[in-house]
Structure 1
Amino acid sequence: MRIAIIFLWIIHIAAIIGIALGYEDFFLPKSPFTMIYLLFLLIFFFKIESRKAVLLFIAFMFTGILVEWIGVHTGTLFGDYYYGINFGPKIDGIPVLIGVNWALLTFTTHLISKKFFTSPIAIIASGAALMVGLDFFLEQICDFAGFWHFKNGAGWYNYICWYVVAAILHAIALHFKLKGNKILSYHLYGVQLLFAIGLWIVITI
């Protein structure tokens, strides 16, 4: 697992450096492959050893796709936005990998939260906050990266809806006593946070 994690950090740091040097047309279209690699690490090293955990991941993935579909096609969730070209293949305007990311983020932030808190309310609240925190930084780079585009920017309504949906997923994960690899969770979450913050710095300086 150590080599796989080192490679994970290398490709993200290389992407930030490459984009800073002006090679965004090379790196950004490869974002779906990076997400697939994150999924690969989760499958093989998160220690999803029960049928329950597999079903939870699938349920969270389809929930993510559903809420994004509602958001894109009705504007009643997250605001007025649409997906760009760099998040992989889409079904009716929604990238399949966005569902994977919803599930992956729920799994990893849930394990991180359980490391620091024992209170159910604190676990749910902090897990949802970690997801929204990452979303905040992703919103700063999404247009540049070609991930998704808000017509009037991502406002407070987007973050409230994100938090509510994330909290529901964390409550479900807590109910079913989700377990996994905490160390891997730190890396899977941390590398996405680093990339979002790093790219934000690159495009603003």
Structure 2
Amino acid sequence: MKLGLIIFLWVIHVAALIGIALGYESFFLPKSPFTMLYLLLMVVLYFPIDTGKKVALFGAFAVVGLLVEWIGVHTGALFGNYYYLENFGIKIDGIPLLIGVNWAILAFTTHVIATKLTLNIWTRILAGSSLMVIIDFFLEQICEYAGFWVFAGGAGIFNYVCWFVVAALLHWILAKSRVKGDLVISTHIYIVQLIFAATLWIIISTI
């Protein structure tokens, strides 16, 4: 089942890219919330989120993600001036519920990848936070086209600095909590999102 979920993960992302390239973006892009829920299913089953500590941390990270995004949208004090569009799913007070899930998934998966890269806690935190910022950079290039969010004047350096700081805090907590997870699942989830965002950026740049 694990292999099947990984294969289907790639199938839905590749199919979406092909469909968007052929002009069917209005069909594929609104389905993004279902893709996020699929990622959540994979993480819960095969990361896995199978202990009280992991459940508590994952839930707390999702709440932190929602909180920092609420501060960002309603005050501009974090990330800059931006607002969410419709393709990230159901919103409460302008903030999609799934954006908190996205923060938690990214933190957990990049933590596992970073843990395999280095044993030193500080370089691990640096590596994991950097991986999250890299994903954010590519998402910022496609966010408006994909119907996710819009920055006034585009995302600036302040956005990436804030992303790194919040990510570093989450990675510090994960490192101190000694959370362990599946490297294969984490790597596929990270790479498929990175390739999707980078490829979609290329596609929309040629339209």
TM-score (norm 2): 0.98
Aligned Cα RMSD in Å? 0.5
Identical-pair percentage: 60
Q: Distance in 2 between matches of 1:91 and 1:28?
A: 20
Query: In the TM superposition, what is the alpha-carbon distance from 1:50 to its structure 2 partner?
Result: 1.4
2:3 corresponds in structure 1 to 2
**What CA deviation, in whole Å up to 9, does each residue of 1:143-191 have, x standing for no partner?**
1000000011000000000000000000001111111111100011111
Classify the secondary structure of the residue corresponding to 2:101. Answer: helix
Q: Distance in 2 between matches of 1:116 and 1:127?
A: 9
2:78 corresponds in structure 1 to 77
For 1:137, the aligned partner's letter is F
Classify the secondary structure of the residue corresponding to 2:66. Answer: helix
Q: Distance in 2 between matches of 1:47 and 1:98?
A: 20
Q: Distance in 1 between matches of 2:183 and 2:145?
A: 32
2:161 corresponds in structure 1 to 160
Q: Distance in 2 between matches of 1:141 and 1:131?
A: 16
For 2:176, the aligned partner's letter is H
Q: How many residues align?
A: 205
Q: Distance in 2 between matches of 1:175 and 1:199?
A: 36
1:173 corresponds in structure 2 to 174
Q: Distance in 2 between matches of 1:152 and 1:186?
A: 33
For 2:183, the aligned partner's letter is K
For 2:138, the aligned partner's letter is F
2:17 corresponds in structure 1 to 16
Q: Distance in 2 between matches of 1:52 and 1:64?
A: 18
2:202 corresponds in structure 1 to 201
1:51 corresponds in structure 2 to 52
Classify the secondary structure of the residue corresponding to 1:78. Answer: coil
Q: Distance in 1 between matches of 2:5 and 2:83?
A: 33
**What CA deviation, in whole Å up to 9, does each residue of 1:41-71 have, x standing for no partner?**
1111112221001100000000000000000
Q: Distance in 1 between matches of 2:199 and 2:18?
A: 9
1:104 corresponds in structure 2 to 105
2:40 corresponds in structure 1 to 39
Q: In the alignment, is the contact (CA less than 8 A) between 2:44 and 2:50 conserved in 1?
A: no
2:114 corresponds in structure 1 to 113
Q: Distance in 2 between matches of 1:49 and 1:23?
A: 38
For 1:17, the aligned partner's letter is I
Gaps spanning 5+ residues in structure 1: where? none
Gaps spanning 5+ residues in structure 2: where? none
Q: Distance in 1 between matches of 2:121 and 2:200?
A: 34
For 1:14, the aligned partner's letter is A
TM-score (norm 1): 0.99
Q: Distance in 1 between matches of 2:163 and 2:50?
A: 28
For 2:96, the aligned partner's letter is P
Classify the secondary structure of the residue corresponding to 1:144. Answer: helix
